[in-house]
Amino acid sequence: MAGCPTTNPQQCHVKQVKGKGRGVFASRVIPAQTIIETSPVLLFTRDEYEAHGKHTLLDHYTFNWRDGRMALALGLGVLLFSPTNQSYAGGDQGSLFNHSECPNVSYSIDATRDCIIYTSTRTINPDEELCIFYGHSLWFDPIGMPNNTSLLARSDQELDGWDSLASIQGNHPDMPSLLGSVDGDAIDEGDLPFTWKKLSLDKEEETINDVELMQAWAVDILDQKHIATMLKWLKRSGLETDALSHLKRIRRQGPTSTLLLCTSLHPPVLPDDVVVGAPYQVPVPCNPALTHTSLHLKNTYWPTVFTPRRKWEPEKWTRGKLRWACDAIAFLKREYHKARSSGELPIVAFVPTPYAKEGDLPQSILAHDTRTSTRHPLRHAALNAIRKVADLRAVQPTPTRGVDVSQNQSGAQYLLTGLTLFTTHEPCIMCTMALLHSRVKEVFYLYSMPKTGGCGGAVCVPALEGVNHRFTIAIWREEHEAGDTLPTLDPEIDA
């Protein structure tokens, strides 16, 4: 256990939750992908556990370690109970995270240090409970679940603990180890557990009409001395996302400097103590310039970065992003298992809150195919997901301050800019077109649909000449579980 930090850097607290016992709660905003805790574990041999542990209360707190031993994440022993306010503080929470079907915390085992590392999967708000996913074989009746009744018990598996912890390694046999590594480390393309679908080469922009544009918020700064202040403010504001990383921050035209702010749906609220104008929307190029001609054309809209790289070439993936994608795929598969007994077509789509700052979505979106129950032929999983994102955007608060928002209300902003859709089946042509129109960043799927798919099965819509957006397509490459290979879907169906 040497070298394993046991701090609680996010200052989470523990309190009673009706029907669950104690639970772990956020004391402040915890951004996505933050390490919440590194818990050392106490390891029992399987024999010790069978003979003693399993007959005690510890049974509720132990889980399978990778080598067959049973582990207890330490924390209980160091919790300090305050009788005055009836809460616990100052200790580790390793064993106290409750279970949720939609967890906001994921974990990985660091076997070299006998630790478990708990990481937030999305932004967690103050006083929100932090939960992990224990697995399908629960030994208690969970409360606070969206669809308790449809939880599948796995008959082929002993009820022997938190099986999802045990299966961290097994679920992704061909994946490079994600353990004990730094989130920012790049991963070789060949080591990724998915295969990119390479779109045919894009024709370079040759005329001004070829340039793909999007709307971004900008503000004019008349007094040069405010530029540094505004840049500092922008860094701290949380508005910056990767969506604008191919553009220069400042455009100078005569005495006026214009600062590019963000691609949010609504105009950002600017600091009160700096004299600048109101934010307004400007059309900016969607992609970096790959050739000198393209750079010249794009610079007429907004100063653009020159990167002589082919557009279809995938970006470098880091371990942190891969961990985020693996969590999303694991969640998708759990929902798929449930959907298979629901009477609907078992097609599931999931749009997680984006990794780091690649896009802007306050909460993850899960959608199922509902065309059977609704008797509506267009209720496909991907379309349902897009619709849910639209509904979410519609109720987002509008911090306007005297700015005209009519453009937003007319739908000028794209729904999926910077976002990733994970889906069980390759989307059909209609759904692919809708994803393209929504400006999705990436689409991952488990099963190809060679007869009906729009991402390369029947046709590859984003590779067609004349479409005004391209997105990345990848097929999750893994051994499907026995009996799991397209068991229920007719290949003629539009997924």
Ligand X SMILES: C[S@@+](CC[C@H](N)C(=O)[O-])C[C@H]1O[C@@H](n2cnc3c(N)ncnc32)[C@H](O)[C@@H]1O
The residues that touch ligand X, with contacts defined as CB under 6 A, are: 19-23, 60-61, 95-96, 98-99, 140, 142-144
Report, in Å, the least distance between residue 187 CB and ligand X.
Answer: 32
93 to 36, 88, 113: CA distances (angstroms): 9, 10, 18
Q: Between 144 and 268, whose beta carbon lies closer to ligand X?
A: 144
Closest CA to 486 of 332, 346, 374, 373: 346
Report, in Å, the least distance between residue 144 CB and ligand X.
Answer: 5
Q: Between 19 and 238, whose beta carbon lies closer to ligand X?
A: 19
Report, in Å, the least distance between residue 396 CB and ligand X.
Answer: 29
Report, in Å, the least distance between residue 67 CB and ligand X.
Answer: 21
Whole-number Å distance between alpha carbons of 440 and 309: 21
Report, in Å, the least distance between residue 103 CB and ligand X.
Answer: 10
Q: Between 143 and 231, whose beta carbon lies closer to ligand X?
A: 143
Report, in Å, the least distance between residue 120 CB and ligand X.
Answer: 18
How do 98-99 and 213-221 pair as beta strands?
unpaired
Report, in Å, the least distance between residue 62 CB and ligand X.
Answer: 9
Residue nearest to ligand X (CB): 21
Q: Between 22 and 46, whose beta carbon lies closer to ligand X?
A: 22
Q: Between 60 and 401, whose beta carbon lies closer to ligand X?
A: 60
Q: Between 96 and 415, whose beta carbon lies closer to ligand X?
A: 96
Report, in Å, the least distance between residue 23 CB and ligand X.
Answer: 6
Closest CA to 476 of 334, 330, 335: 330
Instruction: Give, as one character, the DSSP assignment of residue 204.
Output: P
Q: Would you state the structure tokens that stand for residue 25, as one six-digit string? A: 């709660």
**Residue 89: CB atoms within 10 Å:** 16
Q: Between 76 and 244, whose beta carbon lies closer to ligand X?
A: 76
Instruction: Give, as one character, the DSSP assignment of residue 39.
Output: E
Whole-number Å distance between alpha carbons of 457 and 447: 10
Q: Between 159 and 269, whose beta carbon lies closer to ligand X?
A: 159
243 to 129, 230, 358, 360, 377: CA distances (angstroms): 30, 19, 6, 9, 34
Burial (CB count within 10 angstroms: exposed 0-12, middle 13-18, buried 19+), residue 138: middle
Residues of 212-240 as b/e, b for ≥16 C-beta within 10 angstroms?
Answer: eebbbbbbebeeeebbeebeebbeeeebb
- Phi and psi of 335, rounded to 5°? -65, -35
